[in-house]
Amino acid sequence: MKIALIAHDKKKNDMVQFTIAYKHVLEKHDLYATGTTGLKIMEATGLNIHRFQSGPLGGDQQIGALIAQNDMDIVLFFRDPLTAQPHEPDVSALVRLCDVYSIPLATNMGTAEIIIRGLERGDLKWRDIVQKI
């Protein structure tokens, strides 16, 4: 499965802690991230991650492009709801595309945990079928 990992600045620590806790699951999949989030995760966990541009510089849009091509299976996007983002339209567009293509999306750690545990026990196998269509 292809998993995108994204976190706004005030949520990056949550994302790092999350990826440390679930490294044993994440390491079995293809990981993608926006620039700074990916760097922090790689430094903390040693996980191999394909990094795109930083979010404000187009990283959210690059991940959105993969979703539009049916080339992303899960998005874990820890958003900061209390800070205005200069690239808010990109953030909204990414969330919207997840809904357009029914891509499992977590916008906080609580939901991410449910998705990753579901992934671990095979709940997301339907993505394999959708990928072939």
Ligand X SMILES: O=C(CO)COP(=O)(O)O
Annotated catalytic sites, by residue?
60
Sole window of 17-25, 49-57, 105-113, 125-133 interacting with ligand X (rule: CB under 6 A): 49-57
The least CB distance from residue 114 to ligand X, in Å, is: 21
**Backbone torsion region of residue 46, taken as left when φ is above 0, otherwise alpha when ψ lies between -120 and 50, otherwise beta:** left
Q: Which of 60, 75, 105, 115 binds ligand X (CB under 6 A)?
A: 60
Q: Which of 54, 61, 70, 108 binds ligand X (CB under 6 A)?
A: 54
Q: Which of 19, 34, 45, 107 binds ligand X (CB under 6 A)?
A: 34
The response to whether 35 counts as a known ligand-binding position is: yes
Which two three-digit tokens encode residue 28? 């079995």
Alpha-carbon span 57 to 14, nearest angstrom: 22
Closer residue to ligand X (CB): 37 or 107 = 37
Q: Among 125, 105, 96, which residue's Cα sits nearest to residue 5?
A: 105
Burial 50-79 (b: 16+ CB within 10 A, else e): ebbebbeebbbbbbbebbeeeebbbbbbbb
**Known binding residues for substrate:** 8, 12, 34-37, 54-55, 87
**Known binding residues:** 8, 12, 34-37, 54-55, 87
Residues in the site for ligand X, rule: CB under 6 A? 6, 8, 34-37, 54-56, 59-60, 91
